[in-house]
């Protein structure tokens, strides 16, 4: 795409998104932030009641919610309702529509590879835009300040081998760089472009920012020293946070999804705090201090989703009365895992959502991937640095067996890079069993 056509497209988008509703939502968010915990809590319950009243208009919820009255305790009523599986939404999205006139269709490939057809109210679109805008501003960014964007935008043809690997959006003052062209051969161009842009803010996929940070570290280059790096759309590992913080800038993480039922952002202590004006989040116990994030959105009156099972896993949830290490009160959770990786299937029927622990404390691994070929054969692909030693295999094998099963044969493969998905994302665990199960 040419720079001119890209800028025209962005101009059109900016006019579409920065409307009066957007500014109203930005103000509402600023007011919400100033509320004390008690008032926020009361406000959340009233927003939940409103959502349940609106959802009554949909075929899916009509009977379920027929007995609900606006003055009832909305949380008590909510807890009597069943969880909503992704499959129910995927199969019959029209059942969730409330008949709201002005809506926009959104199609998503879904983080679990499940394509969903969603409809969003104009207010919900403005709310999402306002959420990101406010989040950036809280970290010190101001409108009109330059921003580096590295978020999987298709701005350059895949086959391009020569710079530029991005587009300069003059109107939004953003350098939108490609997440699909990053290699040792092209990264010097990315780094020069970022340095000469003078931007001290970056909005990125965690995996893309990680590739950049890892390169700077590996080549011994000068860190960017940015003011803030905003990460969203993928679960972020501690290893990614550490490297990105050191070589690009302090990391801020947003948790959300296309279904837009939940919004959390990280604090200075690295914990996730809920935006309770956005939705009502529950943590369904899975055992072993793991909880599935189940959430009810307040922001989309066109297609309300109630107790939606996100498939994402939280660790260490904390409530309204709990004070986080950062000093702020809950609710929220310490960590979120399992967004892009496949579940690892064990011969005894167990499924494991995260296996990167097996590489923890093993030095000199640039990147690693676990490929499950079948229940008894797993391949561990490692991108080593020059100091890696073959003897580390023994440590990894032991750690792997500790968490999975000694019955699994492990084969090590060494590569210079790891393949990415068509969407430019990286998977730490690829399970051929999980893929077969999903068709």
Which member of 106, 137, 267, 284 binds Zn ion (CB under 5 A)?
267
Task: Check binding of 269 to Zn ion (CB under 5 A).
Answer: yes
Q: Which is nearer to Zn ion, 33 or 195 (CB)?
A: 33
Q: Which of 220, 218, 266, 263 is nearest to 241 (CA)?
A: 266
Token readout for 242 is 């550490």
1-9, 193-201, 247-255, 324-332 -> range binding Zn ion (CB under 5 A): 324-332
Task: Check binding of 326 to Zn ion (CB under 5 A).
Answer: yes
Which member of 243, 271, 313, 429 binds Zn ion (CB under 5 A)?
271
- Contact by Cβ (8 Å): 393, 412: yes
Cβ count near 318 (within 10 Å): 18
26-34, 91-99, 184-192, 261-269 -> range binding Zn ion (CB under 5 A): 261-269
**Which residues, 6+ apart, have CB-to-CB distance to 91 below 8 Å?**
none
Cβ count near 233 (within 10 Å): 22
Q: Which is nearer to Zn ion, 267 or 410 (CB)?
A: 267
Q: Name the minimum Å distance from CB 271 to Zn ion.
A: 4
Token readout for 355 is 């296996």
Q: Which is nearer to Zn ion, 88 or 326 (CB)?
A: 326
Q: Which is nearer to Zn ion, 223 or 319 (CB)?
A: 319
Q: Name the minimum Å distance from CB 316 to Zn ion.
A: 12
Q: How many residues bind Zn ion (CB under 5 A)?
A: 5
- Contact by Cβ (8 Å): 115, 170: no
- Residue 402 exposure: Cα atoms within 13 Å on the Cβ side: 11
Task: Check binding of 324 to Zn ion (CB under 5 A).
Answer: yes
Q: Where are the beta strands (DSSP E) in 55-194?
A: 103-108, 116-121, 147-150, 166-169, 174-177
119-127, 225-233, 269-277, 372-380 -> range binding Zn ion (CB under 5 A): 269-277
349-408 binders of Zn ion (CB under 5 A): none
Task: Check binding of 75 to Zn ion (CB under 5 A).
Answer: no
DSSP 437: H
Q: Which of 305, 285, 301, 302 is nearest to 293 (CA)?
A: 285
- Give the C-alpha separation, 95 to 84, whole Å: 13
68-76, 136-144, 246-254, 268-276 -> range binding Zn ion (CB under 5 A): 268-276
Task: Check binding of 264 to Zn ion (CB under 5 A).
Answer: no
121-129, 134-142, 221-229, 316-324 -> range binding Zn ion (CB under 5 A): 316-324
Token readout for 328 is 């702020």
Q: Which is nearer to Zn ion, 251 or 324 (CB)?
A: 324
Task: Check binding of 35 to Zn ion (CB under 5 A).
Answer: no
- Give the C-alpha separation, 7 to 14, whole Å: 10
Distances (CA, A) of 174 to 167, 291, 412, 429: 8, 37, 42, 33
Q: Name the minimum Å distance from CB 335 to Zn ion.
A: 12
Burial class (CB in 10 A: 0-12, 13-18, 19+), 178: buried
114-122, 260-268, 373-381, 396-404 -> range binding Zn ion (CB under 5 A): 260-268
- Give the C-alpha separation, 267 to 247, whole Å: 19
Q: Name the minimum Å distance from CB 354 to Zn ion.
A: 22
Task: Check binding of 270 to Zn ion (CB under 5 A).
Answer: no
Q: Name the minimum Å distance from CB 237 to Zn ion.
A: 19
181-189, 203-211, 311-319, 323-331 -> range binding Zn ion (CB under 5 A): 323-331
Q: Name the minimum Å distance from CB 312 to Zn ion.
A: 19
Residues that bind Zn ion (CB under 5 A): 267, 269, 271, 324, 326
């Amino acid at each position: 795409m040419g720079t001119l056509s890209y800028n025209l497209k962005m101009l059109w988008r900016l006019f579409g998104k920065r409307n009066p509703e957007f500014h109203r939502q930005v103000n509402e968010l600023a007011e919400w932030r100033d509320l004390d915990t008690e008032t926020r809590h009361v406000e959340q319950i009233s927003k939940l009641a409103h959502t349940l009243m609106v959802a009554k208009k949909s075929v899916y919820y009509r009977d379920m919610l027929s007995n609900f009255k606006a003055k009832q305790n909305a949380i008590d009523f909510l807890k009597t309702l069943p969880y909503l599986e992704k499959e129910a939404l995927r199969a019959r999205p029209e059942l969730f529509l409330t008949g709201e006139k002005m809506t926009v269709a959104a199609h998503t490939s879904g983080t679990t590879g499940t394509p969903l057809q969603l409809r969003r109210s104009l207010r919900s679109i403005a709310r999402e835009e306002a959420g990101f805008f406010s989040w950036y501003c809280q970290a010190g960014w101001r409108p009109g300040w330059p921003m580096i964007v590295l978020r999987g935008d298709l701005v350059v043809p895949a086959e391009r081998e020569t710079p530029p690997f991005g587009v300069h959006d003059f109107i939004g003052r953003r350098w939108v760089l490609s997440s699909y062209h990053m290699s040792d051969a092209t990264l010097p161009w990315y780094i020069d472009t970022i340095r000469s842009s003078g931007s001290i803010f970056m909005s990125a996929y965690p995996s893309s920012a990680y590739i950049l940070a890892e390169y700077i570290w590996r080549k011994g280059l000068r860190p960017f020293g940015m003011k803030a790096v905003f990460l969203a759309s993928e679960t972020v590992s501690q290893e990614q946070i550490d490297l990105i913080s050191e070589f690009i800038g302090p990391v801020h993480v947003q948790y959300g999804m296309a279904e837009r039922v939940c919004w959390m952002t990280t604090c200075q202590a690295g914990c996730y705090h809920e935006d309770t004006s956005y939705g009502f989040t529950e943590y369904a116990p899975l055992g072993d201090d793991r909880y599935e994030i189940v959430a009810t959105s307040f922001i989309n009156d066109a297609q309300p989703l109630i107790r939606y099972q996100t498939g994402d896993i939280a660790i260490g949830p904390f409530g309204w009365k709990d004070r986080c290490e950062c000093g702020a009160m809950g609710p929220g959770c310490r960590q979120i895992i399992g967004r892009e990786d496949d579940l690892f299937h064990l011969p005894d029927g167990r499924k494991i959502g995260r296996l990167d622990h097996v590489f923890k404390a093993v030095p000199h691994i640039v990147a690693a991937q676990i490929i499950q070929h079948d229940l008894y054969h797993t391949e561990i692909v490692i991108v080593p640095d020059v100091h890696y030693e073959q003897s580390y295999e023994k440590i990894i094998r032991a750690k792997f067996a500790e968490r999975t099963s000694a019955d699994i044969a492990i084969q090590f493969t060494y590569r210079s890079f790891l393949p990415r998905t068509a969407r430019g994302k990286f998977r730490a665990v690829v399970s051929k069993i999980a893929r077969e199960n999903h068709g």
